[in-house]
Amino acid sequence: MTTILELNGVTKSYKQGQEVLTVLDHISMQVNKGEFGAILGPSGSGKSTLLSVIGALTSPSNGEVILNGRNVHTMNGKEQTSLRLKEIGFIFQQSNLIPFLTVEEQLLLVGKLIKQKERLQERALELLSHLGLAERSSHYPEQLSGGEQQRVAIARALMNEPKLILADEPTASLDRERGKSVVELLVKETKERHIATIMVTHDESMIRDCDWVYRMR
């Protein structure tokens, strides 16, 4: 097994006036390639904060995050931006698609942000057809169902061939059946691509196919 992500004693506290609120308290974990893991916990337990720290969107107060052998929080801002663009795919509760771009254009846009621009359109169309969206490639987000929008968000997250997918409540705006099929798709892509995915959820029914579950209180 190859470790792709390692957390060592990650702590995150916020100052609130005189008080200090410790949201993450010495979290250590290892994630291997090919694993689909879930972080489960009630609202306010720090799940999104943990994903933000892993994805270099927020600095930890203490501890380290090692992604693909590199310490994420000792990099400069430019290196972090490049890391987020090339090595991490983000998926959120709302698909956050751009309303005036077609499905295909959503993918081309993230592809254009990286240096390696070969076969962009070909790769976008391959991904869309792989995710069952071939017929939707020239549609706008408002013409899609919630489940389809989330599948486009998955395709967009995969466009730059990341090593790690961070999904924050990707099923929360979907009904149970559509939610389950989004999770199944994420599991399948994780295994096929031999990448790692961490999914945050508060829904016990979404964790059936997980390789591991981390519970937050």
Stretch binding Mg ion (CB under 5 A), from 8-16, 46-54, 57-65, 111-119: 46-54
Tell me whether residue 13 or residue 181 sits nearer to ligand ADP (CB atom).
13
User: How many angstroms separate the CA atoms of 181 and 133, rounded?
Assistant: 14
Site pattern 59..88 for ligand ADP (x: CB under 6 A):
------------------------------
E strand or H helix at 196: strand 196-201
Stretch binding ligand ADP (CB under 6 A), from 37-45, 99-107, 154-162, 175-183: 37-45
Using the rule CB under 6 A, is 46 a contact of ligand ADP? yes
Single out the residue of 5, 48, 131, 201 in contact with ligand ADP (rule: CB under 6 A).
Answer: 48
Q: Which amino acid is at 106?
A: Q
State the nearest-atom distance from the C-beta of 47 to Mg ion, in Å: 5
Tell me whether residue 5 or residue 54 sits nearer to ligand ADP (CB atom).
54
Identify the sign of the CA torsion 208, 34, 94, 179: negative
User: How many angstroms separate the CA atoms of 161 and 157, rounded?
Assistant: 8
State the nearest-atom distance from the C-beta of 46 to ligand ADP, in Å: 4
Residue 9: contacted member of ligand ADP, Mg ion, none (CB under 5 to 8 Å, by partner type): none
Single out the residue of 4, 12, 40, 48 in contact with Mg ion (rule: CB under 5 A).
Answer: 48
Query: Angle between the 176-193 and 146-158 helix axes, to the nearest 10 degrees?
Result: 20
What tokens does 122 get? 């070909």
* Residues 6 or more apart in contact with residue 39 via CB below 8 angstroms: 47, 50, 51, 198, 199, 200, 201, 213, 214, 215, 216
Identify the sign of the CA torsion 174, 179, 185, 188: positive
State the nearest-atom distance from the C-beta of 199 to ligand ADP, in Å: 12
Q: Which amino acid is at 182?
A: V
User: How many angstroms separate the CA atoms of 214 and 68, rounded?
Assistant: 21
Residues in region 7-36 near ligand ADP by CB under 6 A: 14, 21, 23
State the nearest-atom distance from the C-beta of 51 to ligand ADP, in Å: 8
Binding site for ligand ADP (CB under 6 A): 14, 21, 23, 41, 43-49
Q: Which residues here bind Mg ion, judged by CB under 5 A? A: 48
